Structures are given as structure tokens and as C-alpha cells.
Amino acid sequence: MKQYISEDAWSIIETDFHRDYNEITESLMSLGNGRFGQRGNFEEQFTGKTMLGNYVAGVYYPDKTRVGWWKNGYPEYFAKVLNAANWIGIDVEIDTETLDLNTCEVREFRRELNMREGYLERSFVATLPSKKEVRVNAKRFCSLADDDAGAIRYSITPLNFDAPITVTPAIDGTIRNRDANYDETFWNEGRKETGYGEAYLELRTRKTDYHVLTGMCVEIEQDGATVDFQSQPVKREKYVASRITLDCRTGQETIIYKYAVVLSSLNVAIDDLMQVAHKTIRRVSQKGFAQLLDEQKQAWADKWQMNDIIIKGDVAAQQGIRFNIFQLNQTYTGEDERLNIGPKGFTGEKYGGSTYWDTEAYCLPFYLATANQNVARNLLIYRYKQLGKAIENGEKLGFTGGAALYPMVTMTGEECHNEWEITFEEIHRNGAIAYAIYDYVRYTSDDAYLSEYGLEVLIAISRFWMQRVNWSAQKAQYVMLGVTGPNEYENNVNNNWYTNYIAAWTLHYTLEAIEIVRQTAPDQYADLTQRIGFGEADETKQAQHIIDNMHYPFDAGRQVFLQQSDFLDKALMPASDIPAAQRPINQRWSWDRILRSCFIKQADVLQGLYFFEDEFDLETLRRNFDFYEPMTVHESSLSPCVHSIQASKLGMADKAYEMYLRTARLDLDDYNNDTEDGLHITSMAGTWLAVVKGFGGMRVSKDGTLSFAPYCPAGWSSLSFKIRFRGALLQITVTQQDVTVQNFSEQPVSLTVLGQPVTVDTNGSVTTAVSVRDVVDA
């Protein structure tokens, strides 16, 4: 771990310049507004360790697959989130010297991501090789209130000299993706314009022909007043700038205001981009930095009013959960159903495509409980609209009759992941899509979703499972061969328990959904079955036979489910036996050694027990947790949250807190030595789950009853969070002594608290005492 970030309830603060960790800090200080975002790079030039990153939602490039041995069914490309034009650049020259913190002596360095108000601020004093000293303060944000815009306030103050200072605010489109398979450039240049303190650059993607137009304008103040300046336009390939020289004297603050607009052809017609960019720049610059910042503060205040989780008595825990919530809200707003939640968001290039099963398994519950119901519905509709591509994915692998295999990684619904053990084998992702439909309907009681969209998806997924299993004459059961479960440290295994279980569960839920739609929307049901050629009698009979005869590997001696058929052939040992110098093993061991080991990357059997815990008794949950968790190395960002929730369920408060800190501070403390590549955005929803479903004990039963079995971890004086549930807005506050549920809605709400049914009146509250027994059984 790297614990150089100061603990603060509302900010991420670096108080010294940690050059070797700069790429980590750039990830941590990332900004976004749902439309576009950027890493926490410097405005001025920096020749040290850095990864420049600017990203635009929904814009990608199909980078041709690069593999050593091509196999039938491989995707032809890997979708790459594109590193777009860098709009934050402000080069600074003092006389003939370039301001570059890699070549300067730096003191009083401070970098702060203010999460309460949504801006990044940096200040320092730099001593150049000539011994000239300059003080710099930079503040910037990507506007939530006006999500096409960003703004920078960059101030320079000479401390021991009078001299001309030249600043060059620029838009730089020469940035390349580090992860390009063939070292290609993904952008071609379109139009560009320069004017007095203004510049515009249009880039278009090769192959996909997305157009992104980035514009800027500049204003300058000295001595508190706006000054006129001479602006020399600069044009190069994929680069536009304004070069401005100013006379500066000791102690005089010069402020450069840089306003930017980022527009894409996803939202503006290509022919209108330049005109709209000019109009937007005028509107933004007329508001001015102070007003834009006030709007930003208000937009974030509105977000926090609903989404904040308040932990009293533990600053590290408080900072962690707010950081996770902040990044989730920067990445996805739910306002555009064409978009989804990328695993790195706007913080890095790794993992390529925008959509993984993480959305359904981890992110959907966060948006269900904290946003308007339509946000979660849009996430499901996103998958419905890609059903045709999922069926095509199945056909490429030899499946027929409308069988759908949803992709592991995608931008358009087409599979674009190119590792065989993932693309062909990690098929449990299909189950997560089905589970998300169940989760949504159970939480919202929106049965209409099933008749409008959900049942069609469920039938297509079920058709896949019915073809993917095969009958084993030896076992007289259905088996599933050659798969990879959630634990990617095992590949090509037989009968992964989680995959088998979620496949059979999907078939069972599909049969339930058929009955619901048949009874509630018979005309829609008839239209659907005719349109997709659903042979109800034969298909439901086959599904039921698989449900009744699925094989689930089980160890009778230990009374635990086996991760896969041959798991007990491995040498079993706890992860604590691995020397610290060999962790993480995915960076220290050969892949052969990892695959042969018993060590588990993330929850596998326990993932299934987390999803379906109400189908197992407490002792079954405990036996499996006690068996698998000690062998788990938690080298997936998705792992600690599931274990934290399960530990809370089992009354293992210390383990639950340990796993909570690991998920909440995974990136802040760089647990897995990979934060420099970008943040783990989708797993941040898991941090919220660890609090609300773990410490908060929130559940929704099959009959739709909302319940809480909360407890306050040792050292916390209180925990408080809000949720939306079927039109109601509730706040749950937990102390060491009691639980209070406050209803902010114009309707009474019935629920269960610590096993007791209660009704909270309109705009009322109910307080229930917490006993020692409640905490143990939580």
C-alpha cells in the first residue's frame, strides 16, 4: 500500500510532490461530468512521469485484435476508449525558461480534489534553474451544470523577478493511446480555427467516424482587472493555441481564465459542431469563472444531498466512501441511455470497452437506490437494445435459435474481448444480465418491464444456457464444461458451481417471468412468442428438466460447494502463506503457477451465495465463507465488497470492516499496485454495497418487503445514508445504541428493522434500540 494521501473527510489531498507516484495521483485527481473527463494532469508542461488522459463518453475506436494464434469466434477488434484532445494545456515560459516541475525545485506543493464542491486545485512554488521563483495556483472543473463545458483559473506570481511571461493556452490533439495494439493514431484532423484568445479543433475517429470538437477562449487579469493582450495564433497538425506574452513584476498576480467546450457528434450534428461550439464558448465565458464555479458547487450540493453517506468517528472510512461515490457520480449520470459505466470511467485507458457485467452485478443496485428509477431502467434498456448483437455473438460460437450470449466487453453489443478464456468461457456474465432484471423488478415492482423488454432478454439467455449444458450419462445430470468462473485464476474448468447455479436459476426465473407476463399482459405475451418463435411447451419442459437435474459439485466431508469439479485436487493453503514480496501474485507469478494454485482472485462460490443468500441457511453461508475467504487474494477490485457484505451477514464485524476499508480505499492506498492505470470505477459501487447492504443490512425480499439489520462498526459513533424505494425517500441512521428510519415522503412506508415490522408515517421517523444480540446476528 501507498499511504501518502492525507486523510480528510471531504478532500483527496497530496501535500508534497511525490514524483514517483504522480501517475497514481493523476488517477486519483480525475474529473468528469458524465459527458467527458480527464486525469489529474498538470496544465503546464511536465516531462516527468505522467499519463495524459482526456476522454469523451461513448467515443471509441475498434482497434484490430492482436493475438498470436487466431481462433474461430475471436472478435475482430478490441474497443478502445479514446484519448481525446487535451484542452487543459497552458504552457508557461519565463524569459526563455519553460516551467516544468520535473526540472524545477518545488516547495509548498499541494494538490486537492475537493469532492464536496467538485473541483481540482493545485498550488506550488517553483524555483527554475535560473533561480527565478514563481508561485502558481490552478483550479479547474468539468461542469456538471453545463456538461459541455470546463473551466480553469490559472494564476502566476513572480516572487523575485520582473520579466515577461509567455503563456500558451492550447488544444492538443496529438495525444495517443498507450494501449494501441499496432501503435496507430486513432484520430484524423478535421476543421480548426484560431482567433483572438480563441481556438477550435475538430478531430474525427478513423473507422467509426465520431467527430469531437474542442474549443477554448482565454481571458486574463492583472491587479484584479481584465487586461487586453496580444494573441499570436498557433496552428499545427492536430494542434491549435494562442501564444500570449505579458509583462509581469515581482508580487503581481496574473490570472489566466481558460474556458473550454467539448462537443461530440453523438449529441450535435456534424455540420453544426463548429457553430454550437462558438455559441457555447460565448455563453460560458460570459458567465465567468466565479458563476460557473458557483453552479458547480450547487450541482454537487444537490448530488450530495441524496447520495452522501456520513460516517462519524473514522476519517479514513469516511474519505473512502465519499471518494467512491464522487467518482461514480462523475462517470455516469443516467441521463443518456446510450451510455454505460466503464470500468475506468474517465480515469484511464485500461480495459477498453465501456460495458462489463460489473454494471449489472454491482452498479445497478447503487443507481436503483440513489437515483430516479428511470436511471436503472435505462441501464437495462441499454442491454435490451443490444439483444440482437448478443444473439449474433451466440451464432458466432455455434449457438442457434435466438440464443443470446451477452459480451464480456462491448461498446455496441458486439463482443470485443480477445482473450479466449474470457471471450469463450467466462459465460457467467449472461447470468448477471438476467439477475439484474430480477433485481430491478424486485426492487421497483415494475412488472411492466418484463412484458416490455425483460422477458425477451430472459428467453434469449435461457436458450443459450439450454444449449450450453450437456447431459452426462455417467452422472445422470446436466453438466457445464470448459468455463471460467468469476475467479479468473482458473480457466477451462468443468462445472464451476457459480456458473451452473446461475444458469439453472436463470431458467427458473424465466419460467416465473413467463407466468407473470402471460397473466398481466396476455396480448404482449402472444405477440412476443410469435415474433421470436417461442415453442412454449417444448422449451419450458426442457428448461424444467435442466433445473431439476443440474449438477452442483459438492464436498460432503466439508459440507461446502466446490468451486469446480476438480478443486480439491489442488494443494489447499491460506493466502497468508504467500510471502509479502510475492504479492500481488498476478504481478509476481507465472500464469501457469497461478492456474495450478488454489488461490482465488475474487468471490466465486461466494458471489453466488451473495446473490442468492435467501436460498441457503446461515450455516451453509458460514461454512463456505470460512473455506474460501482464506484462500482469496482479493486481486480483483470486485472482490472485497462481496466478502464485506457476507462477513456482515455472518456477524464477523472485524472481517467486514477489513474488507470494507480494502474496497473503499483500494485506489486511494493503491492496494493492488495498479491505480496508475486508472481508477476501478465499477467496483466503487461495491463499496456503497458494503456499507448499505453490509453494515446497513438492507435487503428486499422476494415479496418486496424492505428490511434493515444494521450495525455500527466498532470505532464509529454513527452511520447515516439515504435510499429511494418505490417512491419513498428514507434516511437510515445507525448508532451504537439505536437505529432511526426517517421518512421524507408523502406516503407511509412499511418495512422491517432488526426483524421487527414497523411503519414509518408520512414525514415521520421510527427509532429501534440495538441490542448486543442484534449486532452479533447482523
For residue 329 the three cell numbers come to 457520480
Kindly state the cell numbers that stand for 349: 485507458
Instruction: Enumerate residues 6+ apart whose C-beta is below 8 A from 754.
Output: 708, 709, 710, 739, 768, 770, 774
Helix axes 639-649, 681-689, angle to 10 degrees: 10
Cβ-based neighbours of 557, under 8 Å, separated by 6 or more? none
Q: Give the separation between CA 345 and CA 283, rounded to whole angstroms.
A: 28
* Residue in 169, 167, 322 with CA at minimum distance from that of residue 248: 167
Cell, residue 407: 459480451
Q: 19: which DSSP letter? A: G
Torsion angle (degrees, nearest 10) of CA 392, 397, 398, 403? -50
Q: Are 421 and 408 in contact (CB under 8 A)?
A: no
Angle of helix 522-532 relative to helix 497-520, nearest 10 degrees, comes to 130
- Catalytic residue set: 488
As a whole number of angstroms, the distance between CA 698 and CA 728 comes to 15
Joined grid coordinates for residue 593: 503457477
Compute CA 390 distance to the chain's CA centroid, rounded to the nearest angstrom: 22
Which residue shows C-alpha cell 465520431?
210
- CB distance 277 to 261 below 8 Å: yes
Ramachandran angles phi, psi of 277, nearest 5°: -60, -45
Q: Which residues of 504-529 are buried (b: 16+ CB within 10 A; e: fewer)?
A: bbbbebbbebbebbbeebeebbeebb
Rg (CA), the chain: 27
DSSP classification of residue 560: E
DSSP for 271-292, please give it: GGHHHHHHHHHHHHHHHHHHHH
Cis peptide before 757 (omega within 30 of 0): no
For strand 765-769 and strand 738-743, is the pairing parallel, antiparallel, or unpaired? antiparallel
CB burial of 283-294 (b: ≥16 within 10 Å; e: otherwise) equals: ebbebebeebbe
Report, in this order, helix, strand and coil percent for the chain, each rounded to 5. 35, 25, 40
Task: Output the furthest CA–CA distance in the chain (Å, rounded).
Answer: 89
Integer Cα distance of 270 and 279 in angstroms: 15
Which amino acid is located at 507 in the chain? L
Tell me how far apart the alpha carbons of residues 353 and 65 are, in angstroms, rounded to a whole number: 13
User: What CA–CA distance (Å, rounded) separates 423 from 434?
Assistant: 19
The set of cell numbers assigned to 8 is: 480528510
